[in-house]
Structure 1
């Protein structure tokens, strides 16, 4: 009689482990540094952000220049959720600013971990040969 609940628990653990294994973190695309890192980039110039992992975000500006921001510490669930918010009273996003991971829960967004940004490194993304 006690074996059935243990089998159910074991089955649930195995299936949840399989679900977690499906989201393997990918390495950020290779990038070549093209200049000295900067502390801030203009918010009005940001056209796109791409979350690459729990620690790397690439920002594209209106001039098609890319900036890689490597957070000083890993930010839990950032790479999985691939979305974040920031609040600033300035017209720039800076290395002293904090981002907050956004989670989807029940059809609405909730806030997750908050993490500090690093410096913005100008980069050229390396295209892989096919």
Structure 2
């Protein structure tokens, strides 16, 4: 009899893992991810693609927000369509593309350092590339 109890004990955990995401909780996580990133001023409408050859630096702000810093000082903030597990841990991404552009819906992968070896983690879809400018705080 005891083996049956042990076999059934994990069942609620399995079922809860398959439950659909709560939209209110997802909206709250999205707002928190955006709030955690440095304050910016939006400088124009979102764009579908950016040129990889102009990319100088990628800054992972959270599991949901990535800033793409371009040569010449332009910055694009990308809010992923969903939270990307593991992205906030090593704060690095990897992607594959055969063209010189990163575009909306492109899949990027969290890049994780496991025992000194970079490994590709979860795949996540990019959103729009919104041109922004970092807000410089003045001491008052």
Aligned equivalent of 2:104, options 95, 98, 107: 95
2:101 pairs with 1:65: no
Give the distance between the partners of 1:121 and 1:98, measured in 2 at CA: 17
TM-score, structure 2 normalization: 0.72
How well do the aligned residues superpose, as a CA RMSD in angstroms? 1.4
Aligned to 1:121: 130
Q: 1:47: which partner in 2?
A: 56
Moved over 6 A (4+): none
Structure 1, unaligned runs of 5 or more: 1-24
In 1: Cα distance, 2:59 partner to 2:116 partner: 22
**Whole-Å separation in 2 of the counterparts to 1:128 and 1:55:** 24
Higher helix fraction: Structure 1 or Structure 2?
A: 2
Q: What's the secondary structure of 2:132's corresponding residue?
A: strand
Structure 2 residue 125 is matched with structure 1 residue 77: no
For residues 78-106 of structure 1, what are the alpha-carbon distances to aligned partners after superposition, in whole Å with 9 as ceiling and x for unaligned? 11210010111111000121001111112
Q: Deviations over 1:36-59 (max 9, x none)?
A: 100000000000110000000001
Across the two proteins, how many residue pairs are aligned to each other?
Answer: 106
Give the alignment's TM-score, normalised by structure 1.
0.77
Q: Distance in 2 between matches of 1:69 and 1:116?
A: 10
Secondary structure class of the residue paired with 2:88: helix
